[in-house]
Structure 1
Amino acid sequence: MLVKIRQVWFFVALVVLNCLPEPVCQAAEADPTLQVLHWWTSPRERKAASLLANRLMDEGVAWKDVGVPGGAGIGAGKVLKSRVLASDAPEVTQIIGASIRDWADLGFLLELDKVANANKWKTAFFPTIQTLIQYRHHVVAAPLGIHRINTLFYNRKLFSSLKLAAPESWNDLVNVAAKLKTAGIKPLAQSSEPWQVATLFENLILAENGPDFHREVFSRQNPQAVLERRFLVALERLRLMKSWMIQAIDERPWPDVVRQFANREAAMMIMGDWAKAELNETDYETDLEFSCATMPGTGRFHLYSVDTFSMFTKDYAHVAAQEKLARLIGTSQMQNEYNAAKGSVSVRQDADPNKMDSCARASWSDFAQGAAMQAPSLAHRMATDESSRDAIIAVIHRFFIDDALSPAETQKRLAALFRTLNMNIRK
């Protein structure tokens, strides 16, 4: 039987803490050094982290880096849990999406209301961001940037030589893939890592069906939604796209997939815009060698993930340093510098799109349209809690790997899973 993550966290809290430290027992301010746990380990991600670390040092606080490799933060999540169990939680950790609420529910996260109020975060940040970083009317996370997950990268020069336009619809994409295959070119760089398969699949759900259906499936987990024909069509399309891939069952880390695309082993790649930063690290530059578009069928929809840092309370000895980092993260200058390096876009409503490249400008402008055009990513913990996310991804990944498994059977498996998850919530 599936166990809800809140029950697991509650057990962890009881093991680690017989009672939580009270603010009245705050220790004296310790040496101004912050351990920062994150999963930014690719070359461009490290560059973005270094920018933050250097600016923090200018504030008189040292950044002790604890980078844990692993796409989608899977490895970092395991390290964080083990360190909490050992009563050795880092002062700062990258926690995103629904996980923020789960940790805050246990009282582990420092409230950043003073920083948020002093720096007018309520008016500076997009409404979706404000909601994400709050728990019970308290700010418990500092937002770094917004990633667009429904990004299609394509080889600009190759498309031009074959007289191909960027595909805007599913039929366009099918036709482009067929012409590329006829020319002896693999259409798609893609890994079969579970989270990467889930990323591709939720793009297909968003395409043609829109944000409402995406939320109905992955956030509300409606059993009837996955039994609809449009969900079956998305599964059939996923299986077709498998035939476009270089090695369909090859579980490559995402930086390797980016390198395949950069090495011109495939003409297209569907991935979050962090890939743009890695491509720009080489001579494969935006608007020269490659271009960005939205996943065909998603138009101006924005499938998003948001990078956030939360501060662990521990003994309250690092509050001043933690608040300095939180304040720094929210500033216009830091937002501009960090997101330009990371490939993401600013969480601030007053950012200047004219200072962004074409990919970033489209991402920021589309996100600014508001919640009706936004869809929270399943693969990147925006849509649901971690245990539900993992269970959903497992079913989708099994369908992707096993060609003998029919779309209809997969629909039934997911509907049964959603009914179980809904029963656990009611309990």
Structure 2
Amino acid sequence: MTVALAAKAGEVEVLHWWTSGGEAKAAAELKKMMQSKGHTWKDFAVAGGGGDNAMTVLKSRVVSGNPPAAAQIKGPAIQEWGDEGVLANLDDVAQAERWDQVLPKVVADVMKYKGHYVAAPVNVHRVNWLWANPEVFKKAGAKIPTTWKEFGESAEKLQKAGFIPLAHGGQAWQDATVFEAVALGVGGPEFYKKAFIQLDQGTIKSAKMEEALSTYKSLKKYTDKNAPGRDWNLATAMVIQGKAGMQIMGDWAKGEFLAAGKVPGKDFICTAAPGTSNAYTFNIDSFAMFKLTGDAAKAQKDLAATIMSPAFQEVFNLNKGSIPARLNMDMSKFDDCGKQSSKDFVATAKSNTLVPSWAHGMAMHSATQGAFQDTISQFWNTDSMTAKQAVEKLAAAAKVQ
């Protein structure tokens, strides 16, 4: 008998920001599973792709002593909440459900605070994907790029044929997502680790970083004038509708293609961003649990067990476009993009080229990340700013804690 079955019915209030097509479907599955166990689900959804709005709301709730049962929190932010002393200990659930055995260590470590489980992962997202519409490429006589040089060549052809080469949403986190992929492709995994995880000043100030920044800015001419402020899923829709050729975005974009009835390999292509096929930037969605008492605490433990159950990991990730965080999963129901992602996840974990996405809050403290994002967006939006000036700003940003 698992911990889950012993729980008494209670209410679980869950804070998340899954409000677009594929994401909303995925969240609905968790709600259904909890209701089938007799619990009351209280949805606390706050719109906004990167979850910034949600964090503001969460802070005010926790400060007033009224936290939700669970909130979508990830990466170093879990540690920051742990420092506040407000997170619940999930070790009993984790032991009963053998989390240490079914999670890769790099994932398990993110879910723990001072050696104790305080959060449950729902998935692994690969961030360094390039999404492409093969029909658009065919019409333009262009090939799907595997290097940044090829990206430029293909983009020119797409533009000449009347398409927007790169669908982009000009929001700070989307700018950072694209730059992160470019930096990984230009500099490689070791450069990436030194610059964005270790925040090594020499690497940040290197000629390689200037090259990464210049390559990144060269992509701007391939976006459209309506890009500023556009949400990511609207950029994905441009590729789906054949208005744009490509988008650089994490695999949550796949949920949008699938929700639109598109078939991977036929209606859309998923491939590693140029120059990054040997590396994997991950973004893991997880739910941190807050200290509660009584029936609510029991329902919360049930929620943690449900999130990590193979049944939920499968159905959730089939809807969301990501892959299960569990290692021992049968991937037969997943499409080609999911199978490829899983294969690369396992391979890069072995080759030590599995790296946390800094653009998605997996590598840096939030203040440092914010300073990096501001610099990248400022560089993208300021024609007169040079790569060298951007490098100096990044070097200063790396010192922000």
| TM-score range relative to shorter protein | over 0.9
Q: SS of 2:74's equivalent?
A: coil
Amino acid at match of 2:358: L
Query: What residue in structure 1 maps to residue 375 of structure 2?
Result: 395
- Taking the aligned partners of 2:344 and 2:8, their CA distance within structure 1 comes to 43
Q: Per-residue deviation at 1:163?
A: 4.2
Query: What residue in structure 1 maps to residue 325 of structure 2?
Result: 347
TM-score (norm 2): 0.94
Q: Per-residue deviation at 1:331?
A: 1.2
- Taking the aligned partners of 1:357 and 1:261, their CA distance within structure 2 comes to 19
Amino acid at match of 1:270: I
Alignment of 1:152 onto 2:130: yes
Once the two structures are superposed, residues 256-314 of structure 1 have per-residue CA deviations (whole angstroms, 9 ceiling, x without a partner) of 11122222221101101101101111133322211100101001311110010111104
Cα pair 2:9 2:38 within 8 Å, conserved: no
- 1:417 maps to which of 382, 397, 401: 397
Cα–Cα, structure 1 residues 50 and 111, in superposed 2: closer, same or farther, change >3 Å?
same
- Taking the aligned partners of 2:51 and 2:90, their CA distance within structure 1 comes to 23
Query: What residue in structure 2 maps to residue 68 of structure 1?
Result: 46
Q: Which segments of structure 1 move beyond 4 Å, counting only runs of 4 or more?
A: none
Alignment of 1:265 onto 2:243: yes
- Taking the aligned partners of 1:30 and 1:125, their CA distance within structure 2 comes to 27
- 1:375 maps to which of 334, 343, 355: 355
Once the two structures are superposed, residues 370-415 of structure 1 have per-residue CA deviations (whole angstroms, 9 ceiling, x without a partner) of 1612121112110111111111111111111101111111111221
Once the two structures are superposed, residues 314-339 of structure 1 have per-residue CA deviations (whole angstroms, 9 ceiling, x without a partner) of 44552210111111111111111000
TM-score (norm 1): 0.89
Amino acid at match of 1:216: K
Amino acid at match of 1:99: A
- Taking the aligned partners of 1:234 and 1:387, their CA distance within structure 2 comes to 23
Q: SS of 1:209's equivalent?
A: helix
Q: Per-residue deviation at 1:88?
A: 1.7
- Taking the aligned partners of 1:62 and 1:107, their CA distance within structure 2 comes to 26
Q: SS of 1:353's equivalent?
A: coil
Once the two structures are superposed, residues 144-202 of structure 1 have per-residue CA deviations (whole angstroms, 9 ceiling, x without a partner) of 00111101000022223444332111122111111112222211000110110000001
Query: What residue in structure 2 maps to residue 360 of structure 1?
Result: 338
Query: What residue in structure 2 maps to residue 406 of structure 1?
Result: 386
Alignment of 1:170 onto 2:148: yes
Alignment of 1:33 onto 2:11: yes
Q: Per-residue deviation at 1:242?
A: 0.4
Q: SS of 1:355's equivalent?
A: coil
Cα pair 1:152 1:268 within 8 Å, conserved: yes
- Taking the aligned partners of 1:223 and 1:210, their CA distance within structure 2 comes to 17
Q: Per-residue deviation at 1:222?
A: 1.6
Unaligned runs of 5+ in 1: 1-28
Query: What residue in structure 1 maps to residue 282 of structure 2?
Result: 304
Query: What residue in structure 2 maps to residue 200 of structure 1?
Result: 178
Amino acid at match of 1:72: G
- Identity, in percent, stands at 33
Q: SS of 1:411's equivalent?
A: helix
Q: SS of 1:145's equivalent?
A: coil
Q: Per-residue deviation at 1:218?
A: 1.6
Amino acid at match of 1:215: K
1:244-283 to structure 2, matched below 5 A, reads 244-247=222-225, 250-283=228-261
Q: SS of 2:244's equivalent?
A: coil
- Taking the aligned partners of 2:12 and 2:292, their CA distance within structure 1 comes to 12
